Structure 1
Amino acid sequence: MGRHREFDVQKVLDAALNVFWRKGYEGASYADLVEAAGVERPALYSAFGNKEALFRQALARYDELYLDYIPEALLLPTAREVAAHILYNAADLNTRYPDHTGCLGVNGALAVSDDAEPVRQALIDFRAAGQAQLRARFERAKAEGDLPEQAKPDALAAFVMAITHGMAVQAKAGFSHDMLKAVADQALSTWPGNEKRSVSRKVAR
């Protein structure tokens, strides 16, 4: 029978998540992870496997704890509301914690060594899954007449993702929540169908 672990695995995982969020995958050393978790390196190996396995579990935990606003967004009645909910919540999340700004899925993952290529690919897949969900939602919006005929759901999904990724980079560089919200406002001002809504408001007056 294995020896009973004397630490809370979930708390250790959350501590590792914060380190990866702050420093990225390669920037986070085992010394950083051990110090944050408050357990010895052999205990980390025993509980989670190697660093890559620990990161993958931290990424799943990040999705569970912090990205619940994405499935919430997909249930909203219009495509514009979907995009707005995602952009404004991303602005909030990227600036909520002063000691780890930005996004775990973006921080430190754009350029990695050959040894870390599986992690880079895992993050590409992670972001691609989110973009695919958005594309499917926008395709439905177009079929329902919520988006104009000339709208391109795949491009709109990529656009929303590009803005959220850019905001993550800006947050890491010190941009404020108010500035990121202004970026979201600017992005939404170009949303397909805005012109139609403006005309409708003028007619209603």
Structure 2
Amino acid sequence: MTPKKSTPARRGRGRPQAFDREQALCAAMHLFWDRGYEGTSFDDLTAAMGISPSSFYNAFGSKKRLYQEATDAYLKAAHTWFSDVLHGATDTRTTFENLMVAAATEFTREDLPAGCMISVSGTQCAPAQARLRELMAQQRAQSEAAMAERLQQGVAEGDLPADTDVEGLAAFFGSLARGMALQARDGVSRQKLLEIGRIGMQAWPATH
């Protein structure tokens, strides 16, 4: 009896290589954070994310949509430390002291780009990208509003004088934090940022 020849198994149709979407988004976020929207090319993104152009468009749609998604991912991560400190069980002055310490620490982490993606991103954009600049400005305004709300709580609880300029004080600390973020981008040490925050606390209203 003649043995039957074995038939090679058929290969399935080619499919795009699978990738970890969350990991790719994280890589894009770090790149945008480090280089800004216009400083990050499409080729930079696909290389950092480890995906093909077709996979990029299938998963994220466009560079602009990816940037917005990366911003959301950054905000979700940053909101954790910012909100935890701002709503901690401490008096108002200690809360803002802790906030400055947390900012100095987060802005100089070795495992992340320096500074704050929201503070340093989108301040200069081409006219066609005005919507992205507005998005970043809105996020900065929301952070400042959250600080104002916490300061108002301090007034209500007697931690701050009743005549405290809550909006002005919130704007001051928002500006201080953004300045610290920019200093971090310039390579300033964590210790110096902590000192900047300590000096900034001298603007705290005196109790009567």
Q: Could you state the TM-score of these two structures normalised by the residue count of structure 2?
A: 0.86
1:90 counterpart residue number: 103
Pairing 1:131–2:144 present: yes
Unmatched tracts of structure 2, length 5 or more: 1-14
Pairing 1:39–2:51 present: yes
Moved more, 160-169 or 102-111: 102-111
Pairing 1:25–2:30 present: no
Q: SS in structure 1 opposite 2:188?
A: coil
Moved more, 77-86 or 116-125: 77-86
Amino acid at match of 1:55: Y
Q: 1:106, 1:168 within 8 Å by CA — same for their partners in 2?
A: yes
2:9 counterpart residue number: none
Sequence identity (%): 30
Pairing 1:121–2:134 present: yes
Amino acid at match of 2:44: D
Moved more, 85-94 or 168-177: 85-94
Aligned with 2:91 (options 78, 81, 94):
78
1:152 counterpart residue number: 165
Change (3 A) 1:137 1:5: farther
Shift of 1:98: 7.0
In structure 2, how many angstroms separate the alpha carbons of the residues matched to 1:107 and 1:149?
Answer: 34
Moved more, 73-82 or 9-18: 73-82
Give RMSD over aligned pairs. Answer: 1.8
Q: Could you state the TM-score of these two structures normalised by the residue count of structure 1?
A: 0.87
Q: 1:109, 1:120 within 8 Å by CA — same for their partners in 2?
A: yes
Shift of 1:67: 3.3
2:116 counterpart residue number: 103
* Runs of 4 or more consecutive aligned structure 1 residues displaced over 3 Å after TM superposition: none
In structure 2, how many angstroms separate the alpha carbons of the residues matched to 1:133 and 1:109?
Answer: 21
1:66 counterpart residue number: 78
Q: Matched residue pairs, number?
A: 193
1:142 counterpart residue number: 155
2:12 counterpart residue number: none
Q: SS in structure 2 opposite 1:6?
A: coil
Shift of 1:112: 0.8
In structure 2, how many angstroms separate the alpha carbons of the residues matched to 1:132 and 1:4?
Answer: 45
Q: 2:161, 2:205 within 8 Å by CA — same for their partners in 1?
A: yes
* Higher CA-based Rg: 2
Q: 1:92, 1:177 within 8 Å by CA — same for their partners in 2?
A: yes
Q: SS in structure 2 opposite 1:69?
A: helix
Shift of 1:85: 2.1
Unmatched tracts of structure 1, length 5 or more: 197-205
Moved more, 8-17 or 133-142: 133-142
In structure 1, how many angstroms separate the alpha carbons of the residues matched to 2:146 and 2:17?
Answer: 38
1:48 counterpart residue number: 60
Shift of 1:7: 0.7
Aligned with 2:203 (options 187, 190, 195):
190
